[in-house]
């Protein structure tokens, strides 16, 4: 369907999307395969489900192709059926819906995480999504609906691929928890900003929760985008009220919520898991035909990391862009970057965030390095170390592209000039990746001396950007700072240029200020004076060193005088903070040596590459493996847990820390003292079904191995049935079960029950952070231990060996 026509419809009338289809298909799907396969093996059933929803009044029917991308289908060995499953999916939906509804081609996540959290590369993901979307478009769907994305990075690449596959309208939603963030820490404003910039036509929220929390999610999205919104809550809510309970949202209740969604700005409503055609019928009755709210959001430069969005402009706080991550005159950084290492860059990122930067400029221009490759690495490192959005600062279009693929949110490109070459290479990238863009007042003739000429160059860049479809709100102008030591009037030209850009182009402005003082003594005095003059002229952002106290204090003070800091709130806050800092004594540290601290820090910050070398160094210096594990690694991963609890970090960082722990442990493992090996019995170790935490289980396994037991590690996420099979296969004496979550510890009694039923005599020992001695007794386990050392004692008791 034509995009314009669809958007007109969506803005004129509330539309209703169909509901869940999985439960209705389940009994018809062959064992071990997926719902999408039903398109081939049970087409009549699929048609019937679509028909029921169309009859119930759905305006949009979603194809049964949610998991029909190559990567996901490969899990079921169906990767060769991508074409058939999607083509059939479109046909069956059309047949079921007839002329009653539009057909939306469903595109869902791959089930894998994009690098570095997982092993799926940008290009592979892009190709898989493009393949699926092209097939669906060819099979005649009217639009696309992309649902249930929890990782912004995957949503980005998926959206780009689907968007690039045809001109059809694209709806995309992410899934949020009760705390209004996705599982990987993205908030609704950030999701809406990033997806909107990448060309989504309708943006929304679906699944995970019932309707209540979605009111808030939708409301927040409405602050960041004026694109139409859609919402699909679950009709089944697990753990509602008390743990283990299940709550069903009735069709009538869902319809009442739908009215509230429409009141706050939704254009399309539907329902997700657990819903039925009855829900659709009630929704249609309640909101079908209503006129959506007319919403508008002020266009602004909004930049996002995975975790947050900042706004840049005259009615916003002054934006400090941290300039430290730049190898010019930095031997430490350039040395590391030329070796492909990133720990100094990560430290720079972290410290600039603490010092008050809002955005991080990333420049890795070291001669002779593979810039795209190093850029990709550094962006990964910076995104792990900090929560700030990124400005990509490079003259190499290849490096800019590598960075744009790698970032998780909406980055700022630093920069495009008026030179033909720059316009031809950078503008297409800014358009394709929906990035923000610094327009630099330089062209093929160099830097114009006069303010009017700089404005002329900037006007040309803006006009060119418009030709590529780059929205004006993505642009910010740099009027260029030239040093005053040679020609004093240069400062005045820059100030006039800022004023001209503001009045004639109406765009925000940015400046790298420190050049102004080159060649003069006491540079920060000149720099800070200049920045306050620039702010008075209307400057909105500066690329500067947030560690320079004088500059930062000037920005804070000038923000009061230019009324950017409303009611002087930030100024007062900074004053109080300064006073507190003076009082604060230096904290004592628990780590014994600097090396210990480096290992601890590597785990907490997720530096899996550097940690192995540090462990080796520590072992070579005579430290015991046991000591390193107990006094450094375990406290470090516990610190990670605390940070996760306090929402200082999110799943992506926790994952990288866990990987770092594993990398460290791998190097440490051969150095544990091995006790006299005499065969003491066979132990099967595993983490129970639904649980992927295996760090603790691995440690316990190692302790047992070191005390003479034969340990067979079954891995993680292991079902009771597989454990039973393996216990028989290995004639194990003991099975060690690990669980780290309240939701998975309930798998333990299932194993014990199954053993009883099958007459298995092997003993069961349980453990893991959530498991207690009392719980172990209640479920009839033979033993419990709180850690590796006591696990050895416990197992000896169980087997009467001690």
Q: Which stretch binds ligand B12 (CB under 6 A): 401-409, 411-419, 603-611, 740-748?
A: 740-748
The three-class DSSP label of residue 276 is coil
Burial of residue 542 (CB within 10 Å: 0-12, 13-18, 19+) is buried
Residue 361 forms beta bridges with which residues?
391
**Cα 485 to Cα 776: distance, rounded to the nearest angstrom:** 77
Give the chain's length: 802
Q: Which stretch binds ligand B12 (CB under 6 A): 87-95, 132-140, 567-575, 687-695?
A: 687-695
Q: List the one residue from 505, 557, 634, 754 that touches ligand B12 (CB under 6 A).
A: 634
- Closer to ligand B12 by CB, 270 or 767: give it: 767
674: contact with ligand B12 by CB under 6 A: no
Q: List the one residue from 637, 663, 776, 798 that touches ligand B12 (CB under 6 A).
A: 637
The least CB distance from residue 657 to ligand B12, in Å, is 6
628: contact with ligand B12 by CB under 6 A: no
- Closer to ligand B12 by CB, 230 or 784: give it: 784
Q: List the one residue from 354, 492, 742, 802 that touches ligand B12 (CB under 6 A).
A: 742
Nearest 5°: phi and psi at 234? Answer: -75, 150
- Closer to ligand B12 by CB, 566 or 642: give it: 642
- Closer to ligand B12 by CB, 183 or 238: give it: 183
The least CB distance from residue 66 to ligand B12, in Å, is 20
Half-sphere exposure of 647 (CA within 13 A, CB side): 10
681: contact with ligand B12 by CB under 6 A: no
Please list every residue from 638 through 657 that binds ligand B12, using CB under 6 A: 638, 640-641, 644-645, 651, 654-655
Q: List the one residue from 158, 738, 747, 792 that touches ligand B12 (CB under 6 A).
A: 738
The least CB distance from residue 653 to ligand B12, in Å, is 9
Positive/negative CA dihedral, 558, 561, 563, 568:
positive
- Closer to ligand B12 by CB, 165 or 738: give it: 738
Half-sphere exposure of 345 (CA within 13 A, CB side): 30
207: contact with ligand B12 by CB under 6 A: no
Q: Which stretch binds ligand B12 (CB under 6 A): 95-103, 554-562, 564-572, 688-696?
A: 688-696
The least CB distance from residue 644 to ligand B12, in Å, is 5
The three-class DSSP label of residue 486 is coil
Cβ neighbours for 584, distance < 8 A, ≥ 6 positions apart: none
Cβ neighbours for 9, distance < 8 A, ≥ 6 positions apart: 15
Compute how many residues bind ligand B12; rule: CB under 6 A.
39
Helix 397-406 to helix 420-433 angle (10° resolution) is 10
Cβ neighbours for 203, distance < 8 A, ≥ 6 positions apart: 171, 172, 173, 191, 192, 195, 196, 221, 225, 227, 228, 229, 230
**Cα 69 to Cα 67: distance, rounded to the nearest angstrom:** 6
Contact call for residues 115 and 126 (beta carbons, < 8 A): no
Q: List the one residue from 482, 557, 722, 769 that touches ligand B12 (CB under 6 A).
A: 769
Contact call for residues 303 and 510 (beta carbons, < 8 A): no
766: contact with ligand B12 by CB under 6 A: yes
- Closer to ligand B12 by CB, 132 or 657: give it: 657
* Strands 143-149 vs 102-107: parallel, antiparallel or unpaired: parallel
The least CB distance from residue 249 to ligand B12, in Å, is 23
Q: List the one residue from 770, 775, 796, 799 that touches ligand B12 (CB under 6 A).
A: 770
Q: List the one residue from 548, 694, 733, 747 that touches ligand B12 (CB under 6 A).
A: 694
206: contact with ligand B12 by CB under 6 A: no
Q: List the one residue from 435, 737, 751, 760 that touches ligand B12 (CB under 6 A).
A: 737
The least CB distance from residue 639 to ligand B12, in Å, is 9
**Cα 443 to Cα 325: distance, rounded to the nearest angstrom:** 26
690: contact with ligand B12 by CB under 6 A: yes
238: contact with ligand B12 by CB under 6 A: no
Interface pattern 182-201 for ligand B12 (x via CB under 6 A): -x------------------
Q: Which stretch binds ligand B12 (CB under 6 A): 243-251, 358-366, 452-460, 735-743?
A: 735-743
CA distances from 319 to 72, 258, 300, 492, 558 (A): 42, 39, 13, 22, 12
Q: List the one residue from 695, 712, 754, 799 that touches ligand B12 (CB under 6 A).
A: 695
2: contact with ligand B12 by CB under 6 A: no
Q: For residue 538, say if its preceding peptide bond is cis, omega within 30 degrees of 0.
A: no
Interface pattern 144-183 for ligand B12 (x via CB under 6 A): ---------------------------------------x
The least CB distance from residue 715 to ligand B12, in Å, is 10
CA 223 to the chain's CA centroid: 20
736: contact with ligand B12 by CB under 6 A: yes
711: contact with ligand B12 by CB under 6 A: no
- Closer to ligand B12 by CB, 499 or 630: give it: 630
Nearest to 300 by CA among 473, 505, 478: 473
Please list every residue from 779 through 798 that binds ligand B12, using CB under 6 A: 785, 787-788, 791
Angle in degrees, CA 563, 567, 569, rounded to 5 = 105
- Closer to ligand B12 by CB, 444 or 778: give it: 778
Q: For residue 590, say if its preceding peptide bond is cis, omega within 30 degrees of 0.
A: no
Cβ neighbours for 645, distance < 8 A, ≥ 6 positions apart: none
- For residue 293, give the DSSP letter: P
799: contact with ligand B12 by CB under 6 A: no
CA 438 to the chain's CA centroid: 25
Q: Mind spelling out the 3-state secondary structure of 703-763?
A: HHHHCCCEEEEEEEEECHHHHHHHHHHHCCCEEEEECCCCCCCCHHHHHHHHHHHHCCCCE
- Closer to ligand B12 by CB, 265 or 767: give it: 767
Q: List the one residue from 220, 410, 697, 782 that touches ligand B12 (CB under 6 A).
A: 697
Q: Which stretch binds ligand B12 (CB under 6 A): 56-64, 100-108, 124-132, 732-740?
A: 732-740
Nearest to 167 by CA among 133, 197, 127, 124: 133
Q: Which stretch binds ligand B12 (CB under 6 A): 1-9, 12-20, 417-425, 731-739?
A: 731-739
Q: How many CB atoms lie within 10 A of CB 486?
A: 9
The counts of H helices and E strands in the chain are 32, 25
Contact call for residues 240 and 226 (beta carbons, < 8 A): no
- Closer to ligand B12 by CB, 491 or 766: give it: 766
660: contact with ligand B12 by CB under 6 A: no
- Closer to ligand B12 by CB, 433 or 709: give it: 709
700: contact with ligand B12 by CB under 6 A: yes
**Cα 708 to Cα 23: distance, rounded to the nearest angstrom:** 49
The least CB distance from residue 723 to ligand B12, in Å, is 12
Q: Which stretch binds ligand B12 (CB under 6 A): 30-38, 196-204, 449-457, 695-703?
A: 695-703
- Closer to ligand B12 by CB, 425 or 743: give it: 743
- Closer to ligand B12 by CB, 345 or 654: give it: 654
Please list every residue from 36 through 75 that binds ligand B12, using CB under 6 A: none
244: contact with ligand B12 by CB under 6 A: no
Contact call for residues 142 and 96 (beta carbons, < 8 A): no
Chain positions contacting ligand B12, by CB under 6 A: 183, 634, 637-638, 640-641, 644-645, 651, 654-655, 658, 690-697, 699-700, 736-738, 740-743, 765-770, 785, 787-788, 791
């Amino acid at each position: 369907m034509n995009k314009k026509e669809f958007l007109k419809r969506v803005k004129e009338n509330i539309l209703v999307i169909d509901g869940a289809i999985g439960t209705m298909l389940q009994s018809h799907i062959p064992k071990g395969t997926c719902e999408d396969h039903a398109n081939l093996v049970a087409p009549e059933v699929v048609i019937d489900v679509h028909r029921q929803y169309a009859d119930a009044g759905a305006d949009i029917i979603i194809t049964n192709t949610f998991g029909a991308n190559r990567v996901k289908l490969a899990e079921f060995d169906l990767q060769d059926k991508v074409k058939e499953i999607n083509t059939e999916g479109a046909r069956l939906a059309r047949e079921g819906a007839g002329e009653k509804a539009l057909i939306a081609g469903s595109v869902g996540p791959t089930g894998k995480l994009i690098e570095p959290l997982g092993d799926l590369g940008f290009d592979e993901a892009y190709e898989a999504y493009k393949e699926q979307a092209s097939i669906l478009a060819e099979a005649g769907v009217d639009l696309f609906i992309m649902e249930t994305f929890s990782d912004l990075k995957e949503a980005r690449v998926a959206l780009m691929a689907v968007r690039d596959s045809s001109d059809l309208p694209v709806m995309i939603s992410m899934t949020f928890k009760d705390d209004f963030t996705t599982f990987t820490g993205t908030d609704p404003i950030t999701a809406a900003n990033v997806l909107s910039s990448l060309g989504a036509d309708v943006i929304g929220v679906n699944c995970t929760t019932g309707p209540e929390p979605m009111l808030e999610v939708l409301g927040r999205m409405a602050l960041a985008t004026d694109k139409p919104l859609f919402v699909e809550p679950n009709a089944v809510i697990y753990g509602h009220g008390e743990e283990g309970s299940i709550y069903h949202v009735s069709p009538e209740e869902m319809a009442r919520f739908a009215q509230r969604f429409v009141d706050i700005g939704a254009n399309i409503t539907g329902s997700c898991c657990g819903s039925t055609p009855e829900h659709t019928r009630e929704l249609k009755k309640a909101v079908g035909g209503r006129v959506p709210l007319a919403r508008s959001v002020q266009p602004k430069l909004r930049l996002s990391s995975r975790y947050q969005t900042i706004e840049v402009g005259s009615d916003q706080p002054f934006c400090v862009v941290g300039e430290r991550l730049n190898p010019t005159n930095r031997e430490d950084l350039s040395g590391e970057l030329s070796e492909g290492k990133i720990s100094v860059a990560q430290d720079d990122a972290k410290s600039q965030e603490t010092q008050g930067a809002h955005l991080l400029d990333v420049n890795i221009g070291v001669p002779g390095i593979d810039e795209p490759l190093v850029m990709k690495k550094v962006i990964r490192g910076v995104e792990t170390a900090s929560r700030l959005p990124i400005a990509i600062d490079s003259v190499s279009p290849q490096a800019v592209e590598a960075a744009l693929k790698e970032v998780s949110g909406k980055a700022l490109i630093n920069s495009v000039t008026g030179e033909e070459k720059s316009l031809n290479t950078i503008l297409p990238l800014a358009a394709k990746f929906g990035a923000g863009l610094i327009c630099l007042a330089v062209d093929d003739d160099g830097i114009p001396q006069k303010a009017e000429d700089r404005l002329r160059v900037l006007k040309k860049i803006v006009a060119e950007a418009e030709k590529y479809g780059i929205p004006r709100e993505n642009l910010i102008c740099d009027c260029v700072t030239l040093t005053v030591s040679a020609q004093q009037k240069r400062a005045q030209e820059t100030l006039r240029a800022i004023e001209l850009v503001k009045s004639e182009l109406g765009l925000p402005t940015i400046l790298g200020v420190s050049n102004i003082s080159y060649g003069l003594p006491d540079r920060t005095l000149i720099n800070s004076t200049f920045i306050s003059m620039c702010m008075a002229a209307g400057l909105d952002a500066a690329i500067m060193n947030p560690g320079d106290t004088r500059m930062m204090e000037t920005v804070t003070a000038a923000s009061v005088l230019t009324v950017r800091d409303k009611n002087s709130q930030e100024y007062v806050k900074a004053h109080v903070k300064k006073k507190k800092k003076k009082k604060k004594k230096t904290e004592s540290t628990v780590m014994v040596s600097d090396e210990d601290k480096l290992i601890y820090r590597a785990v907490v910050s997720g530096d899996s590459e550097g940690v192995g070398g540090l462990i080796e160094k520590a072992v070579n210096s005579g430290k015991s493996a046991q000591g390193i594990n107990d006094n450094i690694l375990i406290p470090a991963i516990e610190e990670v847990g605390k940070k996760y609890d306090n929402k200082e970090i999110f799943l992506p960082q926790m994952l990288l820390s866990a990987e770092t722990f594993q990398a460290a442990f791998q190097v440490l493992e051969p150095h544990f003292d091995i006790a006299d090996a005499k065969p003491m019995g066979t132990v099967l170790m595993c983490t129970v079904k639904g649980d992927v935490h295996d760090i603790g289980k691995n440690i316990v396994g190692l302790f047992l191995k070191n005390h003479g037991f034969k340990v067979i590690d079954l891995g993680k996420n292991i079902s009771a049935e597989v454990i039973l099979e393996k216990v028989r296969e290995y004639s194990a004496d003991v099975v060690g079960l690990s669980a780290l979550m309240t939701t998975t510890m309930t798998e333990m009694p299932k194993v014990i029950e199954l053993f009883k039923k099958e007459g298995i005599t092997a003993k069961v020992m349980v453990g893991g952070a959530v498991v207690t001695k009392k719980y172990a007794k209640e479920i009839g386990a033979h033993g419990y231990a709180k850690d590796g050392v006591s696990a050895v004692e416990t197992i000896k008791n169980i087997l009467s060996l001690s």
